[in-house]
C-alpha cells in the first residue's frame, strides 16, 4: 500500500497533462492566432517536459526533480492557452488569458529551480535558494501587477485585443513600463543562474562532470536562448512604435526556444536517468564479477562500477576505531570538501571514501555495497590478517632490536667490568713476581696462576666477541668480519666492503656470517671459508661459502633462528649444500 499514493499521483498528473494537451490543440486549431509552427513547438515543449517528468518521478520517486518537471509542463500548457492569442469569441477566453499570463511568469522560477537542483531535486546551496525565492517573488508579484494593469495594446495583442476583466488601473504607460521592467529583472536573474551553472561546472569533480556535464551544458545553452528572448522582449517594449521588425523575429525565436527545450533539457535529463539505470545494471554485473575477483581488487571493481576513480575502500581494524586499507596498513581519509565517507552495513563491513557527488544517488551506493558485501567481508578479513601479520613482524623486529641492545650492553659490561678486573689482577701478579724467589715453589705457583688468568681473559674476550663484538659497533661490518677471521682456526677470506649500514642490518649480517663460519668449523670439516659482501642498490648481499663435505640442513636450530631473524628485517636466507661440494649460505637484506 505504500506505493499507491505515488501511483495515484502519477496517474493524476498524466490525466491532467493529457487534458491540457487536448485543450491546447483544440484552442490552437479552432481559435488560435499563431502559426502552426509556433503552436506545435510550444505544445511539444510541454509534452516533452511532462513525459520526462513522469519518467523521472517513476524512476526516482525520492527525488523531487520529476515533480518539478511535471509542474513546469503544467505551467507551459496553461500559458500556451494565452500565447496562442485565442479569438475574442473563444469559450472561456478571459479565463484562459488570465491563467496563461500568470502561468507564463511562473515558468521562469520553476525551470530555474529545475536546472539548479538537477539531479537530486534539492538546491545545493544558500545562493541557489535565495535566487529561487527572489525569482518566485518576482513571478508572483510581477504577474499580479501585469494582471491588474493590463490594457489592450495593439502592438502586443495585435488584432485580438479585448478589455481586461480584472483590470484595476487603466494606464497604458504604466502597463508598458511594467512589461519593460520585468524582462530586465528576469534577464539579470537568468544571468545569475548562468553564472551559478558555470561555477558549478568549474568546481565539479570528475565524477560530477561525467554525470552532470551533458545536462548542465544543455541547461546553460537553454538559458542563453532564454536571455536572448528576454532581450528581444525588452527591445519590443522599449521601442513600441518600432516594434514591427522585432515582432517579426518573435515567431522564429519562439520556435527556437521551443524545439531547443525539446532537444536539450528534457533529453539531457532523460539521458541522465538512462545513465543511472545503466549504473544499476553495472551493479548487477558486479555480483558476477566479484565471484572471480581477489579481495585486494574489490576496490578497483567498485571504482569502475560507481565511476569514481578516486574511490578508496577502508576497513575497521577490529581492535580500535582506526581504518585499514586493503594491504592492512593504517588508512587516513582523503581530505577535501568534495569528499565523503559512507559506511556499508550495520556492522561496518567497510567504509567507502568517495566523491561527495555520489551521495546524490545513495540508492546506487547502497546497491553496490550490498552486491559487494561478501567480497568486502573477505577483503576486510584479509586486511585485518595482513595488519596482524605486520604487527607480528614489527613485534619481532622490536624483540631483535631489544636483544641486540642487550648484547651490546652485556659486551660493554664484560669489557669495562670483568675484563678490566682480570687485567688488574694480572698486573698485580706481575708486581708480585718481583718480590719472590724466582726459583722457589711460590714462583711456579705464580706462573700457573698467571697462565690460568691469561686463559680466562682470552675466554672472556671470545665470549664478549661472540655476544656482540665492540668493533662491529665502532667500525662496521667488514672490520668485525676481519676480526672474526683472525680468531678463526680456519682460513677465512673476507671480500667486499658495503660501508656503514644500520645497526640491525650489520648485527644480522654479522651473526649470520659468524654462525656459518662456526658450522664450517664444527661440522663441515672445511679448510677454507670465503665471505663476500656486496651492496646492490638498497639490498645487502652476503654469502659465506666453505669447501667442506656439504649436506647441511636448514632445519638446524642455529640456521632456523638466523632465518627467522633475517625474515624479521624483510630479508631472505637460502642454503645451498650439495653433498661433497661444500656449503653456501646466502643472505639478502634490505638496507635502504
Q: DSSP letter string over 374-428?
A: HHHHHHHHHHHHHHHHHHHHHHHHHHHHHHHHHHHHHHHHIIIIIHHHHHHHHHH
Task: Check if CATH label 1.20.1070 holds for domain 4-275.
Answer: yes
Cα–Cα distance for residue pair 255/105, rounded to 1 Å: 19
The closest alpha carbon to 305, from 325, 331, 287, 327, belongs to: 287
Domain 475-590 classification at class level = alpha beta
Instruction: Give the domain ranges of the chain.
Output: 4-275, 292-388, 475-590
CB 120 within 8 A of CB 65: yes
Cα–Cα distance for residue pair 402/455, rounded to 1 Å: 31
The closest alpha carbon to 404, from 510, 285, 557, belongs to: 510
Instruction: Specify burial of residue 455 (Cβ count, 10 A radius: 0-12, 13-18, 19+).
Output: exposed
Instruction: Specify burial of residue 277 (Cβ count, 10 A radius: 0-12, 13-18, 19+).
Output: exposed
pTM: 0.54
Cα–Cα distance for residue pair 65/122, rounded to 1 Å: 8
pLDDT, tens digit only, all 592 positions of the chain: 344 446 777 788 888 878 888 887 887 777 777 667 677 777 877 888 888 888 878 777 777 888 888 888 899 888 888 877 777 778 888 888 888 888 888 988 998 888 888 777 788 888 999 999 999 999 999 888 888 888 777 666 666 677 777 878 888 788 877 877 887 788 788 888 888 878 887 777 666 666 666 666 666 666 666 666 666 666 665 555 554 455 555 555 555 555 555 556 666 665 665 566 555 555 555 555 655 556 567 777 777 777 778 888 888 876 556 788 777 778 888 777 778 888 876 667 788 888 877 776 676 777 777 766 667 776 777 777 777 777 777 666 666 666 666 566 665 655 566 666 666 666 776 666 667 766 667 767 766 676 666 656 665 565 555 555 777 778 888 988 888 888 888 899 999 988 888 888 888 888 888 888 888 888 888 889 999 999 887 889 999 999 988 887 766 666 777 787 788 788 888 888 888 888 999 999 888 6
Cα–Cα distance for residue pair 355/334, rounded to 1 Å: 10
CB 58 within 8 A of CB 69: no
Q: Is 294 helix (H, G, I), strand (E, B) or coil?
A: coil
Cα–Cα distance for residue pair 275/213, rounded to 1 Å: 12
Q: At 174, list the grid cell.
A: 504604466
Chain centre to alpha carbon of residue 516: 51
* Residue linked to cell 515582432: 247
List, in sequence order, every residue forming a beta bridge with 324; answer none if it has no partner: 315, 330
CB 512 within 8 A of CB 587: yes
Amino acid at each position: 500500500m505504500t506505493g499507491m499514493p505515488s501511483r495515484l499521483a502519477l496517474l493524476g498528473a498524466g490525466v491532467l497533462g493529457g487534458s491540457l494537451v487536448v485543450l491546447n490543440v483544440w484552442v490552437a486549431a479552432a481559435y488560435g492566432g499563431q502559426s502552426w509552427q509556433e503552436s506545435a513547438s510550444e505544445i511539444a515543449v510541454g509534452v516533452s517536459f511532462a513525459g520526462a517528468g513522469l519518467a523521472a518521478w517513476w524512476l526516482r520517486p525520492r527525488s523531487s526533480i520529476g515533480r518539478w518537471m511535471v509542474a513546469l509542463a503544467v505551467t507551459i500548457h496553461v500559458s500556451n492557452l494565452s500565447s496562442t492569442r485565442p479569438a475574442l469569441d473563444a469559450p472561456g477566453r478571459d479565463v484562459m488569458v488570465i491563467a496563461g499570463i500568470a502561468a507564463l511568469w511562473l515558468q521562469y522560477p520553476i525551470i530555474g529551480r529545475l536546472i539548479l537542483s538537477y539531479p537530486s531535486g534539492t538546491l545545493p546551496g544558500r545562493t541557489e535558494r535565495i535566487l529561487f525565492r527572489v525569482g518566485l517573488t518576482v513571478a508572483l508579484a510581477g504577474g499580479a501587477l501585469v494582471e491588474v494593469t493590463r490594457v489592450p495594446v495593439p502592438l502586443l495583442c495585435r488584432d485580438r485585443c479585448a478589455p481586461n476583466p480584472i483590470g484595476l488601473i487603466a494606464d497604458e504607460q504604466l502597463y508598458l513600463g511594467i512589461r519593460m521592467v520585468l524582462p530586465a529583472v528576469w534577464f539579470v536573474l537568468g544571468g545569475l543562474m548562468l553564472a551559478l551553472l558555470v561555477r558549478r561546472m568549474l568546481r565539479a569533480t570528475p565524477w560530477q562532470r561525467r554525470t552532470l556535464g551533458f545536462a548542465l551544458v544543455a541547461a546553460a545553452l537553454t538559458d542563453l536562448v532564454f536571455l536572448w528572448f528576454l532581450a528581444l522582449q525588452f527591445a519590443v517594449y522599449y521601442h513600441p512604435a518600432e516594434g514591427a521588425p522585432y515582432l517579426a523575429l518573435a515567431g522564429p525565436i519562439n520556435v527556437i526556444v521551443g524545439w531547443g527545450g525539446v532537444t536539450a533539457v528534457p533529453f539531457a535529463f532523460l539521458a541522465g536517468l538512462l545513465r543511472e539505470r545503466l549504473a544499476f545494471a553495472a551493479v548487477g554485473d558486479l555480483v558476477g564479477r566479484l565471484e572471480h575477483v581477489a579481495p585486494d581488487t574489490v576496490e578497483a571493481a567498485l571504482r569502475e562500477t560507481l565511476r569514481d576513480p578516486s574511490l578508496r575502500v577502508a576497513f575497521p581494524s577490529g581492535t580500535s576505531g582506526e581504518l585499514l586499507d586493503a594491504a592492512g596498513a593504517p588508512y587516513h581519509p582523503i581530505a577535501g570538501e568534495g569528499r565523503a565517507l559512507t559506511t556499508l552495513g550495520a556492522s561496518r563491513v567497510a567504509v567507502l571514501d568517495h566523491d561527495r557527488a555520489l551521495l546524490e544517488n545513495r540508492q546506487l551506493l547502497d546497491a553496490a555495497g550490498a552486491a559487494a558485501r561478501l567480497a568486502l567481508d573477505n577483503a576486510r578479513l584479509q586486511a585485518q590478517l595482513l595488519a596482524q601479520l605486520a604487527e607480528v613482524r614489527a613485534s619481532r623486529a622490536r624483540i631483535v632490536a631489544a636483544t641486540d641492545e642487550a648484547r651490546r650492553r652485556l659486551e660493554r659490561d664484560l669489557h669495562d667490568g670483568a675484563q678490566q678486573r682480570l687485567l688488574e689482577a694480572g698486573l698485580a701478579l706481575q708486581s708480585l713476581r718481583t718480590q719472590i724467589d724466582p726459583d722457589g715453589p711460590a714462583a711456579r705457583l705464580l706462573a700457573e696462576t698467571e697462565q690460568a688468568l691469561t686463559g680466562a681473559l682470552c675466554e672472556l674476550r671470545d665470549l664478549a666477541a661472540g655476544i656482540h663484538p665492540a668493533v662491529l659497533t665502532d667500525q662496521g661490518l667488514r672490520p668485525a668480519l676481519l676480526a672474526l677471521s683472525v680468531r678463526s682456526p680456519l682460513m677465512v677470506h673476507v671480500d667486499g666492503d658495503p660501508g656503514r649500514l644500520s645497526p640491525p642490518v650489520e648485527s644480522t649480517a654479522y651473526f649470520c656470517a659468524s654462525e656459518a663460519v662456526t658450522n664450517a668449523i664444527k661440522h663441515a670439516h672445511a679448510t677454507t671459508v670465503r665471505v663476500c659482501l656486496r651492496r646492490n642498490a638498497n639490498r645487502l648481499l652476503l654469502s659465506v661459502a666453505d669447501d667442506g663435505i656439504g649436506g647441511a640442513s636448514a632445519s638446524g636450530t642455529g640456521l632456523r633462528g638466523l632465518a627467522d631473524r633475517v625474515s624479521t628485517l624483510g630479508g631472505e636466507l637460502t642454503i645451498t649444500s650439495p653433498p661433497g661440494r661444500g656449503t653456501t649460505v646466502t643472505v639478502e637484506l634490505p638496507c635502504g
